[in-house]
């Protein structure tokens, strides 16, 4: 049997942690101005049949952009539904020249204007488990059930966000974020997880950095 001091020591040693590195490039040192009617849309890159940047991540970044800010962000699902099928994985524009040609279609341009979308943030990347070790065994016997053992795994998040100005059709900046961490599962009768919030840390890091690009002008009523 584990005594309490030993148990506490194990839990402290197994506390999950993560590290995050962020790099950015801006085309100008001046902030990107938004009036109180203009909006930003955050989209995840998708390559049909190969990989995709999860909607949960782009939605997370959108929430960070709006947190404690008057910035208005259109969700990815709302945008894709409004412009169906032009932003589906197989046909979505992957560079500014293709996007400009696409939005020369009168119906699409009118839709963009009606939704007051000024900036588009493309996010490309994934979170992957790169290594794991240990084992966990669970059993049921006359004395009861329990799980014993120890396992760990390493996760890595790597994402890039590109900010496009849909007024000038120019790239205004990029943010790269890399986050990595180790999670643990300790079996002491009941499995106790210690999860490194790698993807969440990457989301917060990239979202705060992008938010710093913008200045929202709020008009007084």
Residue 81 pLDDT exceeds 70: yes
Most distant pair of Cα atoms in the chain: their distance: 73
- Residue 7 is predicted with a pLDDT of 47
Q: Are 73 and 43 in contact, with CB atoms under 8 Å apart?
A: no
What size, in residues, is the chain?
A: 221
Q: Are 180 and 18 in contact, with CB atoms under 8 Å apart?
A: yes
**DSSP bridge partners of 157:** 127, 179
- With a pLDDT cut of 70, the percent of the chain lying above it is 87
* pLDDT tens, residue by residue, 1-56: 444 445 444 544 545 677 888 888 888 788 999 988 899 999 998 775 667 888 99
From CA 20, how far away is CA 193, in angstroms rounded?
21
- Residue 218 is predicted with a pLDDT of 57
**Which overall architecture, per CATH, does domain 19-128+155-181+195-217 show?**
3-Layer(aba) Sandwich (3.40)
Helices (H), the chain: 4-13, 55-66, 76-82, 96-102, 106-114, 198-211
* pLDDT tens, residue by residue, 116-125: 999 999 999 9
As a whole number, mean pLDDT of residues 73-95 equals 90
């Amino acid at each position: 049997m584990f005594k309490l001091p030993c148990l506490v020591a194990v839990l402290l040693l197994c506390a999950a942690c993560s590290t995050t590195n962020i790099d950015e490039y801006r085309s100008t040192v001046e902030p990107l101005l938004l009036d109180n009617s203009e909006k930003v849309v955050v989209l995840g890159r998708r390559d049909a049949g190969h990989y995709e940047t999860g909607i949960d991540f782009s939605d997370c970044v959108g929430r960070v952009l709006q947190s404690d800010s008057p910035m208005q962000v259109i969700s990815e699902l709302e945008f894709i539904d409004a412009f169906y099928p032009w932003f589906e994985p197989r046909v979505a524009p992957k560079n500014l020249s293709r996007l400009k040609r696409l939005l020369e279609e009168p119906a699409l341009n009118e839709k963009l204007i009606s939704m007051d979308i000024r900036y588009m943030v493309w996010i490309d990347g994934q979170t992957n488990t790169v290594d794991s070790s240990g084992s966990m065994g669970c059993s049921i016997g006359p004395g009861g059930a329990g799980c014993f053992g120890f396992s760990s795994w390493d996760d890595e998040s790597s994402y890039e966000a590109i900010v496009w100005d849909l007024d000038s059709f120019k790239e205004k900046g990029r943010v790269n974020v890399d986050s990595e961490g180790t999670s643990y599962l300790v079996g002491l009768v009941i499995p106790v997880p210690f999860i490194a919030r790698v993807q969440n840390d990457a989301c917060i890091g990239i979202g705060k950095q992008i938010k710093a690009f913008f200045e929202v002008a709020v008009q007084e009523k």
